[in-house]
Amino acid sequence: RNRAKAKSSGDAARQCGQGGGGGAGGGGGAGKVSFDLVLSDLESAELIAYREAFLGFDLDSNGFVPMHSIGLRNFITSHTIIEPSDLDPELMHFASLDDGVSQEHFLRILQERAVGEAAVIE
């Protein structure tokens, strides 16, 4: 399944005009997610959007965002079930005090602490 996801994500990146290079610097391109992609492959569209968001927080372009980044903190609390008062322990579970939050950790936080369907319906 992971290979299928990786292939799907790569296909989605090409549909959005992004390059294939990931890593600290990102893939380049506009990073826009098309409506067609959202309808056909929501998971890949979400992944692309989250990667673009992370790149916006990675001001040093070193692949890490400090845990105290206001933008990062606001994004996580507004896109997950994590309350602001619980954010520091959650970040420390995924990230390092020295390095901060990597893109991989950022994506894991968003995936593992996603807002449930019941909360969206309410």
80-97 per-residue burial string, b: 16 or more CB within 10 A, e: under 16: bebeeeebeebbeebbee
Residue 13 burial by Cβ neighbours in a 10 Å radius (0-12, 13-18, 19+): buried
**Would you say 37 and 16 are in contact if contact means Cβ atoms under 8 Å apart?**
yes
Across the chain, what does the average pLDDT equal?
76
| pTM recorded for the entire structure | 0.67
pLDDT tens for 53-72 read 999 999 999 999 999 999 99
- Summarize pLDDT for 67-88 with one digit per residue, the tens: 999 999 999 999 999 999 999 9
Question: Cβ distance 19 to 51 under 8 Å?
Answer: no
CA dihedral for 90, 81, 40, 38, sign (positive or negative): negative
The dihedrals phi and psi of 67, each to the nearest 5 degrees, come to -65, -20
- DSSP symbol at 85: G
The CA-atom distances, in angstroms, between 76 and each of 24, 101, 103 are 20, 12, 13
